[in-house]
Amino acid sequence: MQKGILITEKLNLIKKEDSFLVDNYIDLIFIRLEARMSLQMEVDTDLKEINNSNDIFTVIKKRHSVRSYTKKMVSEGLIKMLIELATRAPSSMNRQPWGFIIVSNSQLLEKISLKSKAHFLNSLDKNEHKIGELKPLLENEEFNIFYNAPVLIIICAREDENISMKEETSPEADCFLAGENLMLAAIGMGLGTCPIGLSLPVLRTNEIRTTLDIPKGYLPVLPIVVGYPSDNESYVERQRPLIKWIH
């Protein structure tokens, strides 16, 4: 406020000598202030869901798969932040072998959902022990495997010339680490996520790869839906894992 008064006083002194110059200078100041305020409002809108009080331990415990979303769209700014934080994950020999395909076209997501359901229903005999319990859901015409989330982020692994997906330093594993970063970051932004493995076979077909313009040498490995949770889902209790101490 004090700076504003000083500027006004100086301009009044200068205006006595050249009022035309000062009037134009004032117009320029207001244009810049208006642009800065507009940009700040956009940033504030993107970040208003972020809770800075979320410490890392709370965020990890709060993460769970969300299967019910509102229709509210996730802003491009938040999606960019999610990807930036995802790329902070460690990777073998620092290759950072990941790519990100963002799909927000609801009709395209519905198309992929229908194809994915058909694929698994057609292969039910071979995979009955795996998806038999999902059959009623897959046969339901209204069921969307992406749970009607507004955004699908497909993390793709880049297969380098000197390394394959089957080797110990697998790009696929690096992408899983990036995916966990992304899902944890989403919690801090008030967003929900859910990995959708059912979509992988269809996402890897030539038809869908072409539709999504996935570059050659990139393989979809971890599709994650992102959106605003529509309700407070209960957390699934974790089973006690095998733990062995070797002294």
Q: pLDDT tens digit string along 161-209?
A: 555 555 556 899 999 999 999 999 999 999 999 999 999 999 999 999 9
Examine the domain organization and report whether 27 and 65 are in the same domain. Answer: no
Q: Which residues contact 146 (CB under 8 A, 6 or more apart)?
A: 109, 112, 113, 152, 196, 199, 225
49-53, 152-156, 159-163, 235-239: the lowest-pLDDT one: 49-53
Examine the domain organization and report whether 43 and 60 are in the same domain. Answer: no
- pTM for the structure as a whole: 0.76
Per-residue pLDDT, averaged over 55-78, amounts to 93
- pLDDT higher than threshold 60 for residue 14: no
Q: Which domain holds residue 161?
A: 56-227
The confidence score (pLDDT) of residue 136 equals 86
Examine the domain organization and report whether 76 and 29 are in the same domain. Answer: no
Examine the domain organization and report whether 21 and 96 are in the same domain. Answer: no
The confidence score (pLDDT) of residue 91 equals 95
- Asked if residue 239 belongs to a domain, the reply is no
The confidence score (pLDDT) of residue 39 equals 45
- Asked if residue 232 belongs to a domain, the reply is no
Examine the domain organization and report whether 61 and 91 are in the same domain. Answer: yes
Examine the domain organization and report whether 61 and 167 are in the same domain. Answer: yes
pLDDT band at 81 (very low <50, low <70, confident <90, very high): very high
Return the structure tokens found at 165: 């997906």
- Which carries the bigger pLDDT value, residue 118 or residue 43? 118
221 with 172: CB under 8 angstroms? yes
Examine the domain organization and report whether 125 and 36 are in the same domain. Answer: no
Examine the domain organization and report whether 107 and 43 are in the same domain. Answer: no
- Asked if residue 178 belongs to a domain, the reply is yes
- pLDDT higher than threshold 60 for residue 218: yes
Examine the domain organization and report whether 181 and 74 are in the same domain. Answer: yes
The C-alpha atoms of residue 245 and residue 247 are separated, in whole angstroms, by 6
Examine the domain organization and report whether 68 and 43 are in the same domain. Answer: no
Residue by residue, DSSP assigns 187-229 as HHTT-EEEE-GGGHHHHTSHHHHHHHTPPTTEEEEEEEEEE-B
- pLDDT higher than threshold 50 for residue 130: yes
Average pLDDT, the chain: 82
226 with 79: CB under 8 angstroms? yes
- Asked if residue 234 belongs to a domain, the reply is no
- Asked if residue 243 belongs to a domain, the reply is no
Residue by residue, DSSP assigns the chain as -HHHHHHHHHHHHHHTT-HHHHHHHHHHHHHHHHHHHHHHHHHHHHHTT--TT--HHHHHHH--B---B-SPPPPHHHHHHHHHHHTTS--GGG---EEEEEE--HHHHHHHHHHHHHHHHHTTTTTHHHHGGGHHHHH-TT--TTTT-SEEEEEEEE--TT--TTSSS-HHHHHHHHHHHHHHHHHHTT-EEEE-GGGHHHHTSHHHHHHHTPPTTEEEEEEEEEE-BSS-PPPPPPPPPP-----
Examine the domain organization and report whether 108 and 86 are in the same domain. Answer: yes
Examine the domain organization and report whether 104 and 9 are in the same domain. Answer: no
224 with 196: CB under 8 angstroms? yes
The C-alpha atoms of residue 173 and residue 159 are separated, in whole angstroms, by 12
The confidence score (pLDDT) of residue 43 equals 46
- Asked if residue 245 belongs to a domain, the reply is no
- Asked if residue 26 belongs to a domain, the reply is yes
- Asked if residue 244 belongs to a domain, the reply is no
Which domain CATH number covers 165?
Answer: 3.40.109.10
- Which carries the bigger pLDDT value, residue 206 or residue 7? 206
